[in-house]
Amino acid sequence: MDEADRQLLRRCRVRLVGELQVASLWDALLNYELFTPDMIEDIQRAGSGSRRDQARQLITDLETRGSQALPLFISCLEDTGQNSLASLLRTNSQAAKRNPEAIKPLDLMPVVVRPVSGKPEELSMVKQDPSKLTPRPEGLRPEAPRPVDISSRRFSDVRAQEGLRGNADLVYVLNADPCGHCLIINNVHFCLKSGLSTRPGSDVDCEKLQRRFRLLHFMVEVKCDLTGKQIVQALVELAQRDHGALDCCVVVILSHGCQASHLQFPGAVYGTDGFLVSIEKIVNIFNGTGCPSLGGKPKLFFIQACGGERKDCGFAVVSTSPEDRAPGSNPEPDAVPFQDRSGSCDQPDAVSNLPTPSDIFVSYSTFPGFVSWRDPKSGSWYIETLDNIFEQWAHSEDLHSLLLRVANAVSQKGIYKQIPGCFNFLRKKLFFKTS
């Protein structure tokens, strides 16, 4: 769907959600092949399953259904007697084609709620010139303005975040409770034909992350031992949900991994059947087309898997932390050699010629090309450290600062060395909701 059609749907969204009679549309949507039966079932399950929730999900998903989605949807409306809505969309669509300026981008000028500390009846919503706004730590997302209650936060937390945030326009707002979905894919057991070993210790990682992200106000869902196809299906299902009332989304993958040819994001993870799923494909499932309800919102990916099979012996430094390897432990790598179909070794990283995705943060447990260590008893170095750092510092530091602490701590572990890294395409600082 082109941008003009998307803007038209968004401008008409309130009326469509308010008036659309979805029950009569299902057969028409199938006949015009706008949606598959599985997609329609997902729409019917959206939210509470009410007509409004279904209508809202239908309009959101419609943006992903190709260049002819709008005219086909208008035909569905006409076939089911919803002529006033069909006329509304057709008239505006024709006007936009005659005059592209007729449908302008949505007005995203900030809406400021004041006074924040006042009573509900004293709150007034006022549009202001962004250049004249006073930066505030609790910035409001334009499409979901609401007063901010900071009374439940510890004073030290608020003061620390205020000092770090600086300009409120450069901070993602995580006011929703829950903040968003967190999907953890935990692959431990692999089929014999895959040639991949069992990953003892991964369940320890999974349990830590479940607890951690629940404490950070996420709805956590765990899926275990997925094939490559099932990994993709689980991610697509998550992307197709309505995230409109949520502020963030987290995906964690615990599996074997390897190097992979790429344009944007290096690396790939293995399904339990030995099928590879590239990190690039995983991330792009959540782009603006595949997941429009997360547009402009942070999408975080944490990958505990090897980036390759090289073992880093490190180099001498003047001062290092004490040896962090527990007595009797025997760390294992999550590495699998990579070869492309021609049998040649992986080529150097390609230069991306695609637009850089925004609001994406991909955290890797190790540097591309190197192994990622996992202890069968205590779990992986990366997840264990991530959990500890989040517990100590998430109340006062932004995501990037937290991951710097993780990288520093992991780099000082063990005989063989490992250093986590990230691809940061966030536009703002992100502070987790901790209270």
> What string of DSSP letters covers 293-356?
GGTTS-EEEEEES-S-SBPB-----S--PPP-PPTT---EE-B---B-TTSPBPPSPPPP-SPP
- The whole-angstrom separation of Cα 352 and Cα 340 is 19
Give how far the C-alpha of residue 319 lies from the chain's centroid of Cα atoms, to the nearest Å. Answer: 38
Domain match, 93 and 117 both? no
Domain match, 165 and 184 both? no
Q: Which domain holds residue 134?
A: 111-170
Domain match, 347 and 416 both? yes
What local confidence, expressed as pLDDT, does residue 111 receive?
38
Distances (CA, A) of 347 to 259, 336, 339, 344: 10, 16, 9, 8
Domain match, 123 and 77 both? no
**Has 306 been annotated as catalytic?**
yes
pLDDT in tens, 96-152: 777 765 444 443 344 343 444 444 433 333 344 444 433 333 233 333 333 333 333
Least confident window among 15-24, 217-226, 298-307 = 298-307
Residue 331 has pLDDT above 90, yes or no: no
CB 332 within 8 A of CB 392: no
Domain match, 293 and 368 both? yes
Domain match, 341 and 247 both? yes
Catalytic residue among 256, 258, 291, 422: 256
Catalytic residue among 248, 306, 395, 422: 306
Q: What percent of the chain has pLDDT over 70?
A: 68
Over residues 327-336, mean pLDDT: 52
CB 138 within 8 A of CB 157: no
Q: Helices in 342-435 by DSSP H: which ranges?
A: 381-393, 399-411
- The whole-angstrom separation of Cα 243 and Cα 250 is 12
Coil/strand/helix, residue 204: helix
| Higher pLDDT pick, 301 / 141 | 301
Residue 11 has pLDDT above 80, yes or no: yes
**Has 400 been annotated as catalytic?**
no
Q: What percent of the chain has pLDDT over 90?
A: 36
Query: Which of 388, 10, 358 has the alpha carbon at shortest distance from 172?
Result: 358
Domain match, 17 and 122 both? no
Please report whether residue 175 resides in a domain: no
Q: How confident is the model at residue 306 (pLDDT cuts 50, 70, 90)?
A: low
Please report whether residue 434 resides in a domain: no
> How many domains, the chain?
3
Q: How many helices (H) and strands (E) does the chain have?
A: 13, 14
Domain match, 374 and 408 both? yes
- The whole-angstrom separation of Cα 192 and Cα 197 is 8
Please report whether residue 347 resides in a domain: yes
Residue 399 has pLDDT above 90, yes or no: yes
pLDDT in tens, 167-201: 667 899 998 999 999 999 999 999 998 888 898 88
What local confidence, expressed as pLDDT, does residue 76 receive?
93
Residue 166 has pLDDT above 70, yes or no: no
